[in-house]
Amino acid sequence: MDPISGLMNGFAIALQPQNLMWAFFGTFMGTAIGVLPGIGPALTIALLLPVTVYIEPTAAFIMFAGIFYGAMYGGSTTSILLNTPGESGSMMTALEGNKMAQQGRGAAALCTAAIGSFVAGTIGTLGITFLAPPIAELAFIFRPQDYFALMLLAFLSVSVVMGSSKVRGFIALFIGLSLGVIGIDKQTGMQRLTFGVPDLMDGVEMTVVLVSLFAIGETLYVASRYGQTKPMLNPLSGGMWMTKEDWKRSWKPWLRGTLLGFPIGALPAGGAEIPTFLSYTLERKLTKHPEEFGHGAIEGVAGPEAANNAAAAGVLVPLLTLGLPTSATAAILLAAFQNYGLQPGPLLFINSGDLVWALIASLYVGNVMLLILNLPLAGLWVRLLFIPRPYLYAGILIFSLVGIWGVSNSWVDLAMMFSVGLLGYVMRVYDFPIAPVLIGLILGPMAELQLRRALAMGQGDPLILVSTPMSAVLVGIAFLIVLVPAALHWRRTRKISV
Amino acid sequence: MTERPYWIAVGIVGWGAIVLYKSAELPQFDQHAHIGPGFMSTAVGVGLVVLGLMLALQIRRGVSFEEQGAEDISDTHSVSYKALGLTALACALPMLTMPKLGFVITCTGCFVLIAAAFKSNRWALNAVLGFGFSLLCWWLFSKLGVQLGGLLPVWGK
């Protein structure tokens, strides 16, 4: 199916009333969780997984897409009005956006952020529409060694890029890998690391690990260091719309932010932080009003916000085409696909074309909904931040228990919730990145399967792992990602000591 | 943070050793796929032990550990062990009570403990709110098909 007819077919499904309702529910919830602390899109989708098993897959993914995009919008609102980024991609927005709000230009900042997010989200979705099918076709020629190399690249890049220390990044990855090997080995039927516990035979439940690491770890961390401060809300004034001058200063940063965000978001471990930071730096260099930077420059809001949303769209390209998650949220979306017995990758476009195209079409629909929800209602959304923290975090724990106890009514899952929650707490205190744990847990078993397939094809010869041009290049890049920064560091320290 | 948390390195090496020990019971190679069920877990175990040792070396060299940022935390990052203990108790409570007392009572207890950890000492009000919220969640999610068990399993309900 070519992209245009696929997309038209997708719109026919996404615009059905019940799917529009799921899209609205997703965007509404996404905006809310983007505003609220302690809860993000990855955790929300994980908590909803046990519930959505009873919903048709297309409807569930339309809702997830709304949550995914909505969280980006919600994050910018709190960054601008309260100087509290709801998620990491909105940190750069807070720098200039909050200054604008303090000067009474909060409405213009919110407007450029929302329209920038809409422009970037729409261009990013266009990118998915036209890039995903050819990449998925390309994946048909992928052999087991290519997939293994791709996963190796994801492992190494995620561990090196995320967090402040490579050793801690790799430890997080290996903890995830060690959790991933628990259970019955699917090829031989032998039990691995189950310690004789029957509940562990099916492996460690992904939802349990995710919810425990994010929700329980965060609750323990925030409760122990809780500081009661009332949010200082900057009043919305200065009119709802941007001035002609604001438009003139915003449209180029929107486009530049999109061009930076989309490709970086599609890279393993690219994330939203790097493109938003690059966009801010670029806008600061190109602006005709350098004196305004640091004091409320509209370009500093428009560019990073566009980059943030374009990166979110970029994340979906490797996920849908290659089954490769490049962020924590993408890892959960992959788990959601697996929950429905679907495997993202080239076959998804053939076997579940309706679902994929409806999902892509719902991204366009969701973007329009988000613009409508966010522009006039920004002042209302921030009121969510006034929910008393004792009740917010108690509610998060109860929702976590719905997700964990609802999976299989297993006492082992509750014990795992407690121990993995403590692990999440320690990781926050000692600055270990959390995303590599999830990537290791989800991709580890897949990488092992591809490694076994490749070695079986090569009669046990390890050189099979670099036998195709694609696998050789990917393995080469993977090792360069580790070796180049290490070599540069060694050179720097040597120079200093000389 | 200036302390030297060797215990983290010990924990990682220890977990790696357990993974290695359990993997040693499994075949490392097989005829068909050339690597057996124990190969991957052995590799992971070796990795954990090596990384744990590398972390210990870094700690010895005095590497610093900065706490991660989060919303709602005090600027000084000062730790309240009472709040930490109450939250840990709330997270451990389901292990003790969920199978016997069921979802609603367990979650009510968790709600009260978490609220207390966040410095809300209106115990009676929190218990009522927690019970109401837990009951609502139990009813709503049970309607949606999520199996959360009976209202009070110990009485067979």
Complex ipTM = 0.94
Is the separation of the CB atoms in A3 and A129 below 8 Å?
A: yes
Higher-scoring residue by pLDDT: A231, A164 = A164
Q: How far apart are CA B151 and CA B138, in angstroms?
A: 8
Q: What pLDDT does B20 receive?
A: 96
Which tops the pLDDT comparison, A466 or A234?
A: A466
Is A415 close to B95, i.e. CB distance below 8 A?
Answer: yes
Angle A269-A270-A271 from CA coordinates, rounded to 5°: 90
Do B87 and A165 count as a contact with CB atoms less than 8 A apart?
A: no
A429 and B67 in contact by Cβ < 8 A?
yes
Residue ranges of E strands in A286-412: none
Mean pLDDT of A268-283: 81
Closest C-alpha among B44, B24, B137, B142 to residue A397: B137
Give the DSSP per-residue string, B68-127.
Answer: PP-TTB-TT----HHHHHHHHHHHHHHHHHHHHHHHHHHHHHHHHHHHHHTT---HHHHH
- Closest in B34, B107, B149 to A398, CB measured: B107
pLDDT of residue B1: 55
B3 close to A (CB below 8 A)? no
Question: Taking CB atoms and an 8 Å limit, are B119 and A452 in contact across chains?
Answer: no
At residue B89, does pLDDT exceed 90? yes
Q: What is the mean pLDDT of residues A13-39?
A: 88
* Structural domain range at position A283: 3-497
Of all helices (H) and strands (E), which one includes residue A443? helix A435-457
What per-residue confidence (pLDDT) applies to B110?
A: 96
**Residue at token pair 């920064």:** A485
Predicted pLDDT at A86: 59
B87 at interface of A, judged by CB pairs closer than 8 A = yes
Summarize the confidence of residues A330-359 as an average pLDDT: 83
Does pLDDT of B135 surpass 80? yes
CA distance A367 to A27: 8
CB distance A334 to A323 below 8 Å: yes
Query: Quick one: closest CA in B to A196, which residue?
Result: B22
Place of tokens 């809702």: A63
Looking at A204-218, B83-97, B124-138, which range is the least confident one?
Answer: A204-218
* Chain B positions in Cβ-Cβ contact with residue A455 (cut-off 8 Å): 33-35
Q: Say what the pLDDT of residue B13 is.
A: 97
Q: pLDDT, tens digit, for every residue of A394-449?
A: 999 998 899 889 888 899 999 999 999 999 999 999 999 888 898 899 889 989 99
Split at pLDDT 50, 70, 90, the class of A346 is confident
For the residues A263-271, what does the mean pLDDT come to?
A: 77
Question: How much is the pLDDT for B24?
Answer: 93
Q: Looking at the predicted structure, is the pLDDT value of residue A494 above 80? A: no
What is the pLDDT at residue B11? 97
User: Given a cut of 80, is residue A383 above it in pLDDT?
Assistant: no
Lowest mean pLDDT among A233-242, B44-53, B146-155: A233-242
Whether A229 has a pLDDT exceeding 70, the answer reads no
- Mean pLDDT for chain B? 90
> How far does the CA of residue A5 sit from the closest CA of chain B (Å)?
35
φ/ψ of A4, rounded to 5, equals: -65, -50
Residue B35 has a pLDDT of 85
- For A118, counting Cβ atoms within 10 Å of its Cβ (0-12 exposed, 13-18 middle, 19+ buried), the class is buried
User: What is the rounded CA–CA span in Å between residue A84 and residue A234?
Assistant: 12
Cβ-nearest to B72 among A389, A401, A430:
A389
Chain A touched by B12 (CB under 8 Å): yes
Q: How much is the average pLDDT of A140-164?
A: 83
Q: How many domains does chain A have?
A: 1
Task: Determine the pLDDT at residue A232.
Answer: 63
pLDDT for res A234? 60
SS3 A287: coil
Alpha-carbon dihedral sign for residues A354, A357, A361, A363 = positive
Residue A95 confidence (pLDDT): 81
Give the mean model confidence (pLDDT) for residues A114-135: 89
User: Is B135 an 8 Å CB contact of chain A?
Assistant: no
Residues of A in contact with B88 (CB under 8 A): 220, 418, 422
Task: Please give the Cα distance from A337 to B42 (Å, whole number).
Answer: 29
Task: Please check the confidence at residue B134 and state whether its pLDDT lies above 90.
Answer: yes
pLDDT at A238 over 60: no
Cβ contact B98–A414 (<8 Å): yes
- pLDDT-based confidence at residue A44 (cuts at 50, 70, 90): confident
pLDDT in tens, A442-482: 889 989 999 999 998 888 888 999 999 989 999 999 888 88
Helix (H), strand (E), coil (C) string for B6-50: HHHHHHHHHHHHHHHHHHCCCCCCCCCCCCCHHHHHHHHHHHHHH
Is the pLDDT assigned to residue A248 strictly greater than 60?
Answer: yes
Which of A227, A406, A426 has its CB closest to that of B148? A406
The token pair at A345 is 């990758």
Query: Residue A409 CB: number of other CB atoms within 10 A?
Result: 15
Arithmetic mean of pLDDT over chain A: 85
Mean pLDDT check: name the lowest of A73-77, A253-257, A309-313, A396-400. Answer: A73-77
- The model carries a pTM of 0.85
Give yes or no for residue A239 having a pLDDT over 70: no
**A67-83: pLDDT as tens digits:** 988 888 887 887 787 77
Whether pLDDT at B96 is above 90? yes
Indicate if the pLDDT at residue B123 is higher than 80: yes
Are B37 and A187 a contacting pair at CB < 8 A? yes
**Contact A401/B47, CB-based, under 8 Å?**
no
Are B94 and A171 in contact (CB < 8 Å)?
no
Domain residue spans in chain B?
6-60, 81-155
Give the pLDDT confidence score for residue A236 in this predicted structure: 58
Of A69-78, A281-290, B122-131, the one with minimum mean pLDDT is A69-78
Q: Which chain B residues have a beta carbon less than 8 Å from that of A452?
A: 33-35
- pLDDT score of B106: 96
To the nearest whole percent, how much of chain A has pLDDT over 90? 30
